[in-house]
Structure 1
Amino acid sequence: MQSELITFAATDGFPLDGLVYTAASGAADRAALLVHGKIMNFYTGPGRILPPHLTALGWSCLAMNRRGHDLGGIRNGRESYGGAWEKFGDSLLDIAGGIAELKRRGYSKIMLIGHSFGGISAAAYAAAHPDDIAALVLCSAGSGGRDYLVQSSRRGMLAAERHDEVDAEARRLVAAGRGEQMIGVPGWWYAITAASWVDLSGNVPSTVDNARRYPGPILALRGSKEATEAYPAEAVAEAAGKRATLAVVPGGDHFYNGTEPAFVSAVCDWVKMAA
């Protein structure tokens, strides 16, 4: 396995970074695109865990950063970006850029793997562009939908019990032309711009609905410690029917801490069988 740090562009030109892992053997036309979760990046979570095992099966990999990686940062200037600024549509532009980069490198059979918020994005991209995606792996994909932020707050994240108050403040700031103003919130991820809050409150699609729309094979996976309301692997598998396989990692949390071997086995066994 060889690795290469690259910079490539989202379809709107935004620069993104990632790590390409090239399989030493196997079909030269197949690759996996790995998409991280909210506030994560390409060197954490499944994007770090899976590539050595997938390349051993003959699948090259691109573990990519969405522009929503980490809470915030800068590149070659002082204009900030990151998870606190992210809008849902950004993720789709970023994934499209990753797909284009893999195609440019000669890969025509692409498996899309998304974790958490990246799973919501991956399901949406696959449903909208089924011809691009040979197989879809949803690792603890969030439920998405119109209740995405409400549900997150109800679980103690984001605004927690202050949800209605923060929602009103975010909408007031956007209406006043101050959408880039940061709002501190009591729960993880602790800060968000008003514009990002308003966007995510209305534009995050349902993962279950998108799994139903995507016509290819799906692995729907979650840890056994995760709430099915928030990470609806069972509902995804039911919606996709015979195209889907459900896997629940015993003892697994949202990041598969301490259960990495079982998580890897669940993904790789399915890849060998279905993808």
Structure 2
Amino acid sequence: MELLHRYTKDGLNLVGAYWEPKEKKACVVFTHGMFDNVIENNFIELIGENLSKEGYGFIFGHNRGYGVINSIIVRDPVTKKAGNKIIGSTYEKFGESIYDVDLWIETAKELGYKKIILASHSFGCLKNLYYLSKKGIEIIDGLILISAPDTAGLVGRREESKKMFLEAEQNIKAGNSKKIMEGKMLNIFPISSRTFYTFRKGSILDIFPLVEKPKSFGIFSDINKPILVILGEKDSVIVDTPEKDLEELKKRAIGTNDFSSKLIYGASHKYIKKERELSFTIVEWMKDRY
């Protein structure tokens, strides 16, 4: 595994972990979820090692939402003057994630890959879907969604969210958009007002509406490339039951004639102690198609 240091188009210095294969059949570009990073992720190393053994490249690219609160080197794209920016999942702006996904896709191209499969876990799935909605589906050759959440829907159906959205809105109107909320994300992590406010229905991240199940399912239904959806039996993002959720997504994947899903029994959202099954599922799906 090699660490890659790259700058996004808006000047952030991000780190990517790259597993290089002997041959370059295709590259899986992975977008992580909230609060995640390459050091503390429990399954990413196994996936990278197993994919590279089969001739596939693997890039786990940090995005500006890695960790809780972090200081990232930022360089002005014009003047090249360097400084630091405090971001992390606590402060990130969802719309800016497009720069991060684009960085690692372009890196894969620079490394010589002709086929790119865009993969993600948790909140990263929404970032990848948003990216495709803006940049176009033709950029990729396949899509892997691991524990994809309807964040806006799930947050919206929690009673305490009404009070939190009101608090966030008041802080933003008062010019305190970076003010930390009194309540915590997932009852654990601090979250800024501006970041939490994007979790409301109708925002730009309301892009995977599994809770409300509207007639139009958005970009997910437009994807005309092979899709693999993976869900843990005990996942925290489940809307109805894991079986019903996967069946609903199969019905919504009307743009592709190659939809696959895998329910990993006993698995939680982080797939602890189920890493090998998760890795095997991805590797075998790749070997069947690329």
The TM-score with structure 1 as length reference comes to 0.87
* Matching residue of 1:24: 22
Pairing partner for 2:93 from 87, 109, 114: 87
Pairing partner for 1:71 from 54, 64, 68: 68
Deviation at 1:238, TM superposition (A): 2.2
1:267 paired with 2:282, answer yes
Higher mean C-alpha deviation, range 178-187 or range 230-239 = 230-239
Structure 1 stretches of at least 4 aligned residues deviating more than 4 Å after TM superposition: none
1:238 paired with 2:238, answer no
Indicate the RMSD between aligned Cα atoms, in angstroms: 2.1
Contact residue 228 and residue 234 of structure 1 kept, 8 A: no
Per-residue CA shift, 1:155-180, capped at 9, x if unaligned? xxxxxx53222211110111111101
1:122 paired with 2:92, answer no
**1:182 alignment partner, SS class:** coil
Deviation at 1:45, TM superposition (A): 4.4
Matched ranges for 1:131-142 at <5 A: 131-142=138-149
* Matching residue of 2:109: 103
Q: Partner letter of residue 48 of structure 1?
A: E
* Matching residue of 1:51: 48
* Matching residue of 2:213: none
Write 1 or 2 for the structure with the bigger share of helix. Answer: 1
Distance of aligned partners of 1:189 and 1:67 in 2 relative to their CA distance in 1, 3 Å threshold: farther
Q: Partner letter of residue 64 of structure 1?
A: G
- In 1: Cα distance, 2:172 partner to 2:93 partner: 14
Distance of aligned partners of 1:87 and 1:98 in 2 relative to their CA distance in 1, 3 Å threshold: same
Give percent identity, aligned residues only: 22
Q: Partner letter of residue 81 of structure 1?
A: I
* Matching residue of 2:3: 5
- In 1: Cα distance, 2:274 partner to 2:92 partner: 30
* Matching residue of 2:211: none
- In 2: Cα distance, 1:14 partner to 1:234 partner: 39
**2:191 alignment partner, SS class:** strand
Q: Partner letter of residue 109 of structure 1?
A: K
Contact residue 140 and residue 233 of structure 1 kept, 8 A: no
Distance of aligned partners of 1:41 and 1:64 in 2 relative to their CA distance in 1, 3 Å threshold: same
Per-residue CA shift, 1:50-98, capped at 9, x if unaligned? 1111111111111111100111011356641100012221222210111
Per-residue CA shift, 1:179-221, capped at 9, x if unaligned? 0111132443431111111223222132353221111110011
Distance of aligned partners of 1:47 and 1:92 in 2 relative to their CA distance in 1, 3 Å threshold: farther
Contiguous gaps of at least 5 residues in structure 1: 155-160
Distance of aligned partners of 1:88 and 1:75 in 2 relative to their CA distance in 1, 3 Å threshold: closer
Contact residue 24 and residue 113 of structure 2 kept, 8 A: no
Give the total of aligned pairs.
Answer: 262
Distance of aligned partners of 1:49 and 1:150 in 2 relative to their CA distance in 1, 3 Å threshold: farther
Contiguous gaps of at least 5 residues in structure 2: 74-82, 209-216
* Matching residue of 1:195: 194
**1:38 alignment partner, SS class:** coil
Q: Partner letter of residue 120 of structure 1?
A: L
Matched ranges for 1:142-153 at <5 A: 142-144=149-151, 146-151=152-157
- In 2: Cα distance, 1:133 partner to 1:46 partner: 23
